[in-house]
């Protein structure tokens, strides 16, 4: 029989760091155990204390007189010792990043590493992550996947990043800002080919959730002229074996040489086409001189 979910329980928690995953959109996607941990921990720590306070309010959990420590990219090294000390003194500490799973393109790693280094317990209240949510919706193989995080913002670094990913025989999962998604798709077209299958997953679990599936060319066409907003995960299907006819390799090399040194261009193209580096380097030397 359906009814209200059980109220969060305040339980005695063993000392340790509890990495708590929080919703990526719908507040009710939090797990019952995550709520119990948030209700029970001696100390709360968060990437954004206001976001955590708000989430706890929604679920009727008071912070009360418990410490609520800000722990984000800019201060994690400084506050980690304080949290480690609290755990060593027998306290339970719940840590949440702004959304989703801590450490997945989010803070938490230096903290977890510091706790582990002291031989203290680290555990998780697992839950949502945009990467896994997108992967389940993309309609692409999930037997082997690689999470690549955010692409670099600088153009030549992005190109090398994509060239490095292109030949990997796995589904690729990338985070991207709506401001750069058009640019990323354009570069995917150049690096991965316009026929590569992708899924653009936007605003997952939120009101305007949208999943666009198709080839790079089809998805580019679908968003052409649109002012993209919201949060985006790009899932890229595994590449077919690259057809490396001489003209294609030479064209890729020429493009790479416009932005890279001969050595870097050769390495990137060799990687992208699965060719021996030395061979491509010789070709690049000839081109570089020409
Ligand atoms: N830790 C989070 C996780 O486990 O997914 C990711 C944090 S990272 C700073 C934020 C990025 O995750 C966004 O720029 C977007 O690429 C992706 N993201 C987060 N929520 C999303 C959502 N509801 N729909 C689509 N992408 C999302």
- What DSSP assignment string belongs to 247-289? HHHHHHHHHHHHHS-HHHHHHHHHHHHT--HHHHHHHHHHHHH
Q: Residue 48, class by beta-carbon neighbours within 10 Å (0-12 exposed, 13-18 middle, 19+ buried)?
A: middle
Give residues with Cβ within 8 angstroms of 274, minimum separation 6. Answer: 167, 241, 242, 244
- Looking at the structure, do residues 172 and 227 belong to the same domain, yes or no? yes
Give yes or no for a contact between 24 and 100, defined as CB atoms under 8 angstroms apart. yes
- 91 is written with which tokens? 């306290």
Ligand 1 binding pocket includes 22 (Cβ within 6 Å): no
What's the CA-to-centroid distance between 24 and ligand 1, angstroms?
7
Give yes or no for a contact between 14 and 121, defined as CB atoms under 8 angstroms apart. yes
**H or E stretch including 210?**
strand 210-215
Q: What is the pLDDT of residue 256?
A: 86
Domain count, the chain: 3
CA 194 to chain centre: 23
- Looking at the structure, do residues 121 and 95 belong to the same domain, yes or no? yes
- Give the model confidence (pLDDT) of 12-33 as tens digits: 999 999 999 999 999 999 999 9
Categorize the per-residue pLDDT at 56 as very low, low, confident or very high, splitting at 50, 70 and 90. Answer: very high
Q: What is the pLDDT of residue 271?
A: 67
Domain containing residue 278:
246-289
Ligand 1 binding pocket includes 25 (Cβ within 6 Å): yes
- With a cut of 70, say whether residue 80 has pLDDT above it: yes
- Looking at the structure, do residues 83 and 160 belong to the same domain, yes or no? no
Asked if residue 1 belongs to a domain, the reply is: no
How far is the C-alpha of 23 from the C-alpha of 127, rounded, in Å?
Answer: 8
Q: What is the pLDDT of residue 47?
A: 98
- Looking at the structure, do residues 41 and 135 belong to the same domain, yes or no? no
How far is the C-alpha of 246 from the C-alpha of 44, rounded, in Å?
Answer: 59
- Give the model confidence (pLDDT) of 233-255 as tens digits: 999 999 876 556 788 888 888 88
What's the CA-to-centroid distance between 175 and ligand 1, angstroms?
7
Of residues 2 and 130, the one with the higher pLDDT is: 130
Asked if residue 108 belongs to a domain, the reply is: yes
- Looking at the structure, do residues 108 and 158 belong to the same domain, yes or no? no
How far is the C-alpha of 214 from the C-alpha of 197, rounded, in Å?
Answer: 6
Ligand 1 binding pocket includes 233 (Cβ within 6 Å): yes
- With a cut of 80, say whether residue 171 has pLDDT above it: yes
- With a cut of 50, say whether residue 206 has pLDDT above it: yes
Give, as one character, the DSSP assignment of residue 22.
B
Q: Which of 122, 85, 75, 129 is nearest to 105 (CA)?
A: 129
Q: What is the pLDDT of residue 288?
A: 66
CATH code for the domain of 32 = 3.40.1010.10
Of residues 267 and 165, the one with the higher pLDDT is: 165
* Mean of the per-residue pLDDT values of the chain: 93
Phi, psi of 221 (to 5 degrees): -60, -40
Of residues 246 and 206, the one with the higher pLDDT is: 206
């Amino acid at each position: 029989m359906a009814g209200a979910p059980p109220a969060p329980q305040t339980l005695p928690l063993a000392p340790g760091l509890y990495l708590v995953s929080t919703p990526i959109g719908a507040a009710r996607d939090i797990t019952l155990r995550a709520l119990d941990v948030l209700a029970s921990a001696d100390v709360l720590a968060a990437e954004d204390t206001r976001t955590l306070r708000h989430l706890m309010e929604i679920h009727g959990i008071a912070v009360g007189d418990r410490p609520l420590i800000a722990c984000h990219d800019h201060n994690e090294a400084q506050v980690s010792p304080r949290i480690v000390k609290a755990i060593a003194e027998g306290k339970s500490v719940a840590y949440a990043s702004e959304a989703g799973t801590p450490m997945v393109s989010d803070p938490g790693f230096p903290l977890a590493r510091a706790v582990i280094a002291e031989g203290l317990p680290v555990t998780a209240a697992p839950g949502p992550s945009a990467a896994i949510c997108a992967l389940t919706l993309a309609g692409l193989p999930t037997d082997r996947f690689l999470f690549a995080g955010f692409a670099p913002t600088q153009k030549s670094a992005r190109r090398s990043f994509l060239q490095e990913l292109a030949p990997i025989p796995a589904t690729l999962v990338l985070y991207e800002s709506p401001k750069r998604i058009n640019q990323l798709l354009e570069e995917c077209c150049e690096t991965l080919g316009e026929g590569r299958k992708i899924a653009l997953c936007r605003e997952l679990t939120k009101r305007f959730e949208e999943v666009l599936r198709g080839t790079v060319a089809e998805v580019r066409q679908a968003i052409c002229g649109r002012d993209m907003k919201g949060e985006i995960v790009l899932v890229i299907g595994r590449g077919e074996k690259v057809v490396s006819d001489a003209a294609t390799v030479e064209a890729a090399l020429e493009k790479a040489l416009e932005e890279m040194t001969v050595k870097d261009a050769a390495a990137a193209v060799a990687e992208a086409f699965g060719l021996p580096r030395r061979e491509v380097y010789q070709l690049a030397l000839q081109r570089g001189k020409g």
